[in-house]
Amino acid sequence: MNATALYFEGSMTQESTEIARGLRRRDPDLLDRLIEQYQHRLLRYLVYLTGRRELAEDLFQETWIRVLERGHQFNDKYTFSTWLFAVARNLAIDHMRRKQPASLDGLLNGGETSFDVPATGRASAFDVTLQREQNEHIAAGMLHLPAEYREALVLRFQEGMSLAEIASVASVPLGTVKSRIYRGLSALEPWLKGASL
Amino acid sequence: MNADVHEQARKLIASAGPEVHLGGEASPSANAWLAAHLQTCASCRAFAENAAETIRGLRAIPIAAERSLVLTTQMRVRRRALELQRQRERLWLVSVSCIAVTLGALLSSVALWRGFAWLGERAQLAPPVWQVGFLVFCVMPALVAAILLLARGTHCDSHLADQTGSYRG
């Protein structure tokens, strides 16, 4: 491992230790800072996981309350984001269990939301429209995927988590994570081509 | 080439994402094998291109938290932190009270035991007699409270039975 990688690993461990210490004290200032820092990432994860913006916003608030209450359980050997997403995931599953005895699968057909897809890059109007359309297809395709696949794709490609971190959040073996990503991407392939399934 | 080989290649591509040429988290030998496979397999190459396109599309979907949501959450968290702090303070107070009561009860029991022994000696009573007296004295408050509570419960039950009877009647 080179010096830069060691430096970053060291600073990450130090950050996790500081967060763990603050969470044990239930430091409200630290929580304010963490809410600011992880607001978009956590909400995005929950929106993809539940497929419903309103529910995701409720769970967003509940997640932070849970972080406050159970902060002493955070182990600084792991990154805070991994633990945070695991807390959010458990809350989402608990929510579904209260509604109907189910696992993450229950989140699939609960309702649908639409993701606002912006135009990207500097390209011709035609390219922009095409790109936007394609993104809309992908967003629509995401809503039709099983929640486990959606979760794996979001954590891998939007949150940039490692396979091991995803396995830790989802409490599944590494091989399952790889399979979910593969199956998720394969299932999105027809949507990329604009098919409406 | 059998289907397993393609599936293996596609799993590697999927795990690595658009940075497939960088190898993702796979071992160097797996990456070398994948690179060689992609040279010869057009369908896996197409899968890699589609996967990269899909991931780019995924990343282009913005979902942002609104300011009001963040502020509400921060406020709720602060309020809950305050509640938990008060709970902790109350718990501390109850614990200290419990310890004080236990210590007080222990000390007063010793003093009472000696008092009853002294009285028994003065009244020339047999030890079992003043010991029973001590026991009754200690248990009496609890007995009185239990009798009162039971009487109240019976009274409530009969009152309820009367009401139910009159309702049915």
Residue ranges per structural domain of chain B: 3-60
Q: At B106, which amino acid appears? A: L
In tens, the pLDDT along B57-67 reads: 888 877 888 89
Assess whether pLDDT exceeds 90 at residue A160: no
Quote the DSSP letter at residue A49: H
Q: What is the pLDDT of residue A29?
A: 92
Residue whose pair of structure tokens reads 């979910």 in the numeric block: A180
Q: Is B14 on the interface with A (CB under 8 A)?
A: yes
Q: Is A44 on the interface with B (CB under 8 A)?
A: yes
End-to-end Cα distance, chain B: 88
Q: Residue B44: closest CA among chain A residues belongs to which residue? A: A186
Let me know: does A187 contact A141? Beta carbons within 8 Å.
yes
For residue A142, what are its two tokens?
A: 């995401």
**In the structure, what pLDDT confidence band is assigned to residue B24 with cuts at 50, 70 and 90?**
low
Q: What is the pLDDT of residue B99?
A: 94
Q: Is B75 on the interface with A (CB under 8 A)?
A: no
Angle (CA) B132 B138 B144, round 5°: 110
Assess whether pLDDT exceeds 90 at residue B51: no
Least confidently predicted of A7-21, A68-82, B88-102: A7-21
Assess whether pLDDT exceeds 90 at residue B73: yes
* Cβ pair B76:A138 closer than 8 A: no
Q: Is A117 on the interface with B (CB under 8 A)?
A: yes
**Predicted complex ipTM:** 0.74
Nearest-Cα distance to chain A for B51, in Å, is 6
Q: What is the pLDDT of residue A48?
A: 87
Q: What is the pLDDT of residue B81?
A: 94
* C-alpha distance from residue A73 to each of A80, A120, B7, B59 (Å): 11, 41, 39, 32
Assess whether pLDDT exceeds 60 at residue B107: yes
- Residue to mutate among B73, B79, B88, with most A CBs inside 10 A, is B73
Q: Is A108 on the interface with B (CB under 8 A)?
A: no
Least confidently predicted of A25-39, A181-195, B149-163: B149-163
* Cβ pair B57:A134 closer than 8 A: yes
Mean pLDDT value of segment B22-27: 64
Contacts of A11 (CB under 8 A, 6+ apart): none
Mean pLDDT value of segment A159-167: 89
Query: Which of B7, B61, B85 is nearest residue A135 as measured by Cβ atoms?
Result: B61
Least confidently predicted of A14-18, A92-96, A126-130, B37-41: A126-130
Q: At A51, which amino acid appears? A: G
Assess whether pLDDT exceeds 50 at residue A120: no
Assess whether pLDDT exceeds 50 at residue B132: yes
Report CA B49 to chain centroid distance, whole Å: 47
More confident residue, B41 or B62: B41
